[in-house]
Structure 1
Amino acid sequence: MTRLDYDKPATDWLECLPLGNGSLGAMIDGGVDRLVVRLNHEAGWSGSPESEARGVGVTPEDAAAALAASREALRRSDAVAAAEALLPIQARYSQAFLPIGRLIVRRSATAGEYRRSLDLATSIHEMSTTDLTERTVVSAPLGVLAIETSVRPTIELETELAEIGRSSAPDGIELLVRFPSDVAPAHEAGFAAAEWDETEGAALRGVILARAQPSDGGWLILLAAETTFEGFGGPLGSLAAARERARRRIDAAVSTPAEEIFRAASAEHARLFDRARLRFDAPVAPAALIPDRLASAFADPEHPLAADPGLGALLFDVGRYLLICSSRPGGVPATLQGIWNDSMRPPWSSNYTININTQMNYWSAHSTNLSEAAGPLFDFVEGLSAKGQDTARRLYGAGGWTAHHNSDIWLFSSPVGAGAGDARWVHWPMAAPWLVRSLWDAVEFGAADADELRRLWPIARGAAEFVLDWQHRDGQGWSTSPSTSPENTYLDDDGREVALDTVTAMDLQLIRDLLGIVRRLADLVDAGDDEIVRRAGVRLEELPADPAATADGIIREWSEDRREADPQHRHVSSLYGLYPGDGRWSEDALQAAVRALERRGDDSTGWSLVWKLYLWARLRRADKVSDLLALVFREAGDRGEAGGLYPNMFAAHPPFQIDANLGFPGALVECLLQSHDGIELLPAVPRQLASGSATGLRARPGVDVDLTWDGGELVEATLRSAEPVTVMLRYGGEVTEVRIDGEARIRPADFRRSA
């Protein structure tokens, strides 16, 4: 079952249903006499290519002095003074992803016998009443939103942007807009909410074209939107060119029969969506309506998935649907809210938060057979690696490139904070290694061709050059002072809450992971004699393979045992090496990871719950996976840092962030199939999902896997590979070597014979 069904129109944005083609996003409220379609364009942001430079004033000499003062303060164990010393190197903030407008459709109809639905497998939204039938799609082949309705409509366009032109004709409307030149995050109280600058090049401009015409006994509404963004790192384009692109899209759609518009859009979506499927056997048939189904699950005294395990498969489908809709080749990556945002000052600017959230958006892409969706992330990181070279040189006197915890469509790479930001989320120049890991996943899953390997090499090499320059010796070994563990803090000897240290577990794990990737990538691109590769090999020999542990046997997050300010902090950065790293730790380190997760506790934000799902799955703890699933499948509310689901299946931070939705499918795959150390079947299946089947899952090094299991036990697995490959296959503590030459079918007895 891949449908989201409702019997009432949406009364809130978090009840609307999302459509998208990677470029154009739409939230449909299903209104009868007044339908509202809230619109976003992937390249609809505040600011311009010059936005970051407006807040950058520190010279390399001043930055070097600030860095030296911070390190000296840390040598004195004064983390407060160390943070104060770094304030001058902060820029302002990244820009915001914004709504472009709203389409209003009015018609005369009654609300009797109301139904609305979204089919995740076809990407078609349908709505019907006693006297109205309607369907909506955002077409990837044509690049337009299409609404086919049985009642004659009138259409309007609204926007909260600056309206710079409007023209109307009997069959349509053209609306021209200007985006703000600056939007400050809501937490930056010292800045205006928005600035508007009419100067050429100071901000993006955009166009929305909407047309309504008779079609096959009904009416067809078509809409296209474009902006003057023309690629990462480049100048803004002309409004005339954007208008022409939008007009071409509309003209092509006008000449296409409505039935063909919907058929082609559905087929293109299904080409991606149908590659992987997941089903869990249920004891009873679920309710038809999503609100009833969710309410029943939330109220189940045993577990939300006890009577309706199919909700797990549905959220798997929702996550893959949202990724397809918000990230497509040639576009820009999914933001904190994917491609959907209704606020002119969205939470955290709906930007790219690259200390976990942007990366999590793509954790499911390869394992659920949607590798194309990760293409925009590659393009973004490639641009960021060029922009971040100046940041590395100017702020740290280092080669290569760096970026911090916030970025945007303009490739912002500086530390944010405007001279007053807290070091816990400002000073973290380690985004590059994590982003390289995200791109390396495509290589490991067999989704990168020779051209992509060549493109990846300078990105990874530059990231390695920076960390090799950034790391330095102190009295205790390799240091990354001043260092943070993203957004976390500890208590110093005076009981003050501080964030800076001389080194952190995450820094060491990121560096070790990156240098290993660079050495493996060098072999693939014939760059083994590169100086950075040589330095990487030397450094790897000097870095510990396992993370250190505290006296209590917990992975040590800081340079030494520290008093935790928040033992249940949402970030689990000290376990990066377990996931998304390759997890090849010793048994002692794995047990220390168990204790670290137990110390953190279960409850947290939506994305943190999903990260913990991956970690517990890597630790083969089906019981803890079950505990975490119970927290994912609950009603989103105002409980502070506690996730859950909104009525439209969006996941809560709270408020809404899409990272938990997009990360969740891969977390389920990790319970069913792991491939970071050979291929392992059913390593962490929770009892609520004890019987089911999966098709089209992807394992390293590029093997498609179908699975059937019952009562938590394997029934059969089928492995397919386009190229002949031999893999080590694990199941239930047994190991067998499997040669895949096209297809191999595996049953439990095959493992017993190989023992």
Structure 2
Amino acid sequence: MKKMFFDKPASDWNEALPIGNGFLGAMVFGQLNKERIQLNEDSLWSGGFINRTNPDSSAYLAQVRDLLFEGQIEKAEKLAAQSMFAKHPHMQHYQTMGDVWIDFFEDGGTEEIVKDEAGLLRVVKNDQETGNYRRELDLETATIDVSYDLGGNHYERKVFASHLDQLIVYKLKSEQGRKLNFEVSLTRKDLRSGRGASYLDELDAFDNRFIKMQGHQGAVHNGLDFSTVLKVETVDGSVRQMGSHIIVEDATEACIFITGRTSFRSRDPFKWCLETLENASSKGFDKLLDDHLEDYQNYFRKMQLDFEGDASLDNLPINKRLDRLKKGGQDIGLIGLYADFGRYLLISSSRKGSLPANLQGIWNQDFAPAWGSKYTININIQMNYWLAELAGLSDCHLPLFEHLKKMQEKGKRVAREMYDARGFVCHHNTDIWGDCAPQDSHMPGTIWPMGGAWLCLHIWQHYQYTKDRDFLNEYYPVIRDSVLFFIDYLVKNPSGEWVTGPSVSPENIYMNESGQKGSLCMGPSMDSQILRELFQDYLNILEELHVDDEIESEVRERLSGLPEIKIGKHGQIREWAEDYDELEIGHRHISQLFALYPGNQISLNKTPELAEAAKATLKRRLQNGGGHTGWSKAWIINFWAKLEETEEAWKNMNELLTDSTLDNLLDNHPPFQIDGNFGGAASIFNFLMQNYDETIYILPALPQQLATGSVKGLHTKEGAVIDIFWENLKLTKINIQGTRKGNLNIHIPSSVTLDKEDINKKIAIHENDYHTLEF
């Protein structure tokens, strides 16, 4: 069953259920006397573009490098902070669109005076005695259903976010007569004021069925206008406006249609909202739902995942299933549900034409969210897309590439002004405008010029899966500009190697031989690992497109001169050019293992010595408290899966659910951060199939607990869709459908065939042909 449910309304945001269509998102609380629907629109950010680049950077760049090469860490970091940190430390950040409130007028219940979030006193009505309450998210249909009995009547609600019609639909129904009585209102509370002030310019009801809420974000001439509009329709009863509210009385059924827009996409957001509501509502609820289902299921049904477990646990509320797991119970069905939830979240937060999924996907209730709910690109946003291609969700990957174009434009100026270099560069954050200047004033993270380069690796990955030459031609200039920057930026160290710098190993601090603590350095390991893949991807694209490029020889020279991955004194993969110790041994970032995952420079077959060092790195981190954030734990699971350490992978998967997952299954950094959901889902798929070194690995990291199951719809880079079936830890069948002409190298470990040796098969495929391997 692909459903998660509660037997009570949400008491806070972390129990609410998410819906989204890529552009609009909502958290549905399912409350009885006063329902809350918290809204988001993906382009509603705090303001317009700010040019934050420090104009003094390039003048002091060489001096900072010299100080680092000389080991004068403190002086280098002081000068870098003065000359390289941005003029203004913060980019724009993502914000909530507001809330829809539905106040019900049923008799019964009690009233009490409480303080709201802004500290103001208000009267609230406690829920009446209810029965058979259920609040459910169906991942197969992307709908939320709320049902309950109250006062001798049965009530039902259904909520969904339509991508095709660009709105959220909330239907209410009374089974026994015309007993729907409620009023609808919109708010946008500025929680920062402490006085409950609304962060908007206009709030009004009109035409007895509409409410509009409008405002402006940021500077007058450099900001965003936004508009949120809802429409209420009923099949009977009465509807009227009073003040800024819409009041419904004595209705059997009612629909609330909600949409929002900003001037990021529309010159007149209010006009767009009004036309969208009129066009969509004229179709009627049933047609809207049918169209939504057809659109959504076209994505979700690309894959089918089934693990054999205790089916009776499907009858437990999701919070109780998690509690049971925390007490030592086992819930195999929850693993599959978690993987499917990850796919659901990606489809709901990243659709063609939308912005990419940010730190919270699309769901954020705050005006000043943690880390600005921006695009943090030293691991987090990349992790959001780890499952996209292998799960057949290539279209959901596209918003990331569209955003790269904006980064390329802004990053050219940053490259020129900060580093006197060609091409484009971005540091460890970006925002809605593609801002590429350094973010924050935090030495362990701020001066790291690799964020844009890492994102560019997704270009070649997407092409490998799709073979879309038009796409590759379109994005070749983006990756070329990233490569061009590093041709100019790299310098030779005393050993004659090409290294980055000043840079950092993301967010970590080292101790050198003299006891100095530092973050800024020359040639951290992760940088060279990313560049090795960036340069190779670029060369692959030249070959694929038959392009002659004047910088090719320089790229090959830089590639051959990059530092090799080195093993340190603890048997670990070295994190820095020197074999420094970490100040925090259990640090959440394990950046030096980029080459293991998502990179492909470390593998069991091709680099066994480095694979052992990677294991030592993980054990050392974990023994000292590593993996204490949700996204870090998800990355660790993928590391163990790549190393085919099934027991460790399973142990950490269990810990992700017990220690870093909220009651609504959203990832807990803490606070909520969605990358752990996406990374955790990707790791489950990596238990079942991996695709690297031009080989497809079948069940490479299958935990014993997932003894029987099947997966249908895993996509490969070679042009095949794979279905895998196994029973009692033994592989029984593989189905292969070709999507284009190609050749498959399939590796099957002896552990799942019960043979003495691994099986390797070579299969030629063509478009729409089928192959079945039975065991």
**TM-score with structure 2 setting the length:** 0.88
Give SS of 1:566's match: coil
After superposition, give the CA deviation of every residue in 1:568-587 in whole Å (9 maximum; x if it has no partner): 11111111111111245522
After superposition, give the CA deviation of every residue in 1:528-567 in whole Å (9 maximum; x if it has no partner): x2022222222223335x5111133211111111122111
- For the pair 1:163 / 2:200, whether they are aligned, the reply is yes
Q: Which amino acid aligns with 2:485?
A: F
- For the pair 1:175 / 2:175, whether they are aligned, the reply is no
Q: Which residue of 2 aligns with 1:90?
A: 85
Return the match for 1:462 from 475, 478, 481.
481
After superposition, give the CA deviation of every residue in 1:500-527 in whole Å (9 maximum; x if it has no partner): 1221110111111100000001122221
Q: Which residue of 1 aligns with 2:318?
A: 290
Distance (Å, rounded) in 1 between the aligned partners of 2:580 and 2:353: 46
The question of whether the paired residues in 1 share the 8 Å contact of 2:687 and 2:700 is answered with: yes
Return the match for 1:405 from 428, 449, 472.
428
- For the pair 1:342 / 2:365, whether they are aligned, the reply is yes
| Mean Cα deviation higher: 546-555 or 621-630 | 546-555
Give SS of 1:458's match: helix
- For the pair 1:661 / 2:677, whether they are aligned, the reply is yes
The question of whether the paired residues in 2 share the 8 Å contact of 1:368 and 1:696 is answered with: yes
Return the match for 1:474 from 476, 489, 493.
493
Return the match for 1:700 from 686, 693, 717.
717
After superposition, give the CA deviation of every residue in 1:263-282 in whole Å (9 maximum; x if it has no partner): 21122111111111111111
After superposition, give the CA deviation of every residue in 1:322-377 in whole Å (9 maximum; x if it has no partner): 11111100110111001010111100000000111011111111111111111110
Q: Which amino acid aligns with 1:299?
A: K
Distance (Å, rounded) in 2 between the aligned partners of 1:629 and 1:584: 22
Q: Which residue of 1 aligns with 2:575?
A: 557
Return the match for 1:688 from 705, 710, 714.
705
Q: Which residue of 1 aligns with 2:118?
A: none
Q: Which residue of 2 aligns with 1:12?
A: 12
> Once superposed, what is the RMSD of the aligned Cα atoms?
1.7
Residues 202 and 386 of structure 1, relative CA distance in 2, 3 Å threshold: closer
The question of whether the paired residues in 2 share the 8 Å contact of 1:513 and 1:577 is answered with: no
The CA deviation at 1:283 is 4.4
The CA deviation at 1:608 is 0.8
Q: Which residue of 2 aligns with 1:185?
A: none
Q: Which residue of 1 aligns with 2:643?
A: 619
- For the pair 1:101 / 2:98, whether they are aligned, the reply is yes
Return the match for 1:153 from 164, 175, 182.
182
Distance (Å, rounded) in 2 between the aligned partners of 1:114 and 1:535: 66
Distance (Å, rounded) in 2 between the aligned partners of 1:632 and 1:690: 20
Q: Which amino acid aligns with 1:36?
A: R
Q: Which residue of 2 aligns with 1:591?
A: 612
Q: Which residue of 2 aligns with 1:192?
A: none
The question of whether the paired residues in 2 share the 8 Å contact of 1:716 and 1:745 is answered with: no
The CA deviation at 1:108 is 3.4
The CA deviation at 1:103 is 0.6
Q: Which residue of 2 aligns with 1:218?
A: 253
Return the match for 2:726 from 698, 701, 709.
709
Distance (Å, rounded) in 1 between the aligned partners of 2:578 and 2:300: 47
The CA deviation at 1:412 is 1.0
The question of whether the paired residues in 1 share the 8 Å contact of 2:638 and 2:686 is answered with: yes
Q: Which residue of 2 aligns with 1:724?
A: 741
Return the match for 2:442 from 413, 416, 422.
422
The question of whether the paired residues in 1 share the 8 Å contact of 2:377 and 2:430 is answered with: yes
Give SS of 1:747's match: strand
Q: Which residue of 1 aligns with 2:305?
A: 278
Distance (Å, rounded) in 1 between the aligned partners of 2:480 and 2:666: 37
Give SS of 2:735's match: strand
Residues 244 and 387 of structure 1, relative CA distance in 2, 3 Å threshold: same
Distance (Å, rounded) in 1 between the aligned partners of 2:99 and 2:310: 43
Residues 253 and 283 of structure 1, relative CA distance in 2, 3 Å threshold: closer
- For the pair 1:576 / 2:601, whether they are aligned, the reply is no
Return the match for 1:266 from 285, 293, 302.
293
Return the match for 2:74 from 80, 91, 107.
80
Equivalenced residues, count: 699
The question of whether the paired residues in 2 share the 8 Å contact of 1:171 and 1:211 is answered with: no
Give SS of 1:730's match: strand
Distance (Å, rounded) in 1 between the aligned partners of 2:216 and 2:371: 18
Give SS of 2:658's match: coil
State percent identity of aligned pairs.
30
Q: Which residue of 1 aligns with 2:26?
A: 26
Q: Which residue of 2 aligns with 1:604?
A: 628
The CA deviation at 1:23 is 0.6
The question of whether the paired residues in 1 share the 8 Å contact of 2:453 and 2:530 is answered with: yes
Distance (Å, rounded) in 2 between the aligned partners of 1:671 and 1:620: 8
- For the pair 1:514 / 2:534, whether they are aligned, the reply is yes
Distance (Å, rounded) in 1 between the aligned partners of 2:494 and 2:516: 25
The question of whether the paired residues in 1 share the 8 Å contact of 2:748 and 2:759 is answered with: yes
The CA deviation at 1:494 is 4.0
The question of whether the paired residues in 2 share the 8 Å contact of 1:424 and 1:487 is answered with: yes
The CA deviation at 1:696 is 0.7
Q: Which residue of 1 aligns with 2:470?
A: 451
Distance (Å, rounded) in 2 between the aligned partners of 1:331 and 1:532: 34
The question of whether the paired residues in 1 share the 8 Å contact of 2:376 and 2:428 is answered with: yes
Return the match for 2:689 from 668, 673, 698.
673
Residues 722 and 5 of structure 1, relative CA distance in 2, 3 Å threshold: same
Q: Which residue of 1 aligns with 2:225?
A: 205
Distance (Å, rounded) in 1 between the aligned partners of 2:14 and 2:652: 23
The question of whether the paired residues in 2 share the 8 Å contact of 1:583 and 1:618 is answered with: no
Matches for 1:283-432 after TM superposition, within 5 Å: 283=310, 285-288=312-315, 289-300=317-328, 307-417=330-440, 421-432=441-452
The question of whether the paired residues in 1 share the 8 Å contact of 2:84 and 2:447 is answered with: no
Distance (Å, rounded) in 1 between the aligned partners of 2:214 and 2:207: 21
Residues 565 and 652 of structure 1, relative CA distance in 2, 3 Å threshold: same
Matches for 1:477-556 after TM superposition, within 5 Å: 477-527=497-547, 529-543=548-562, 546-556=564-574
Distance (Å, rounded) in 1 between the aligned partners of 2:560 and 2:134: 63
The CA deviation at 1:152 is 4.1
The question of whether the paired residues in 1 share the 8 Å contact of 2:422 and 2:481 is answered with: yes
Give SS of 1:136's match: strand
After superposition, give the CA deviation of every residue in 1:110-133 in whole Å (9 maximum; x if it has no partner): 533211111111011111111311
The CA deviation at 1:479 is 2.1
**TM-score with structure 1 setting the length:** 0.90
Distance (Å, rounded) in 2 between the aligned partners of 1:515 and 1:278: 36
The question of whether the paired residues in 1 share the 8 Å contact of 2:719 and 2:741 is answered with: no
Distance (Å, rounded) in 2 between the aligned partners of 1:391 and 1:599: 38
After superposition, give the CA deviation of every residue in 1:74-110 in whole Å (9 maximum; x if it has no partner): 1221112111111222212111100011111122345
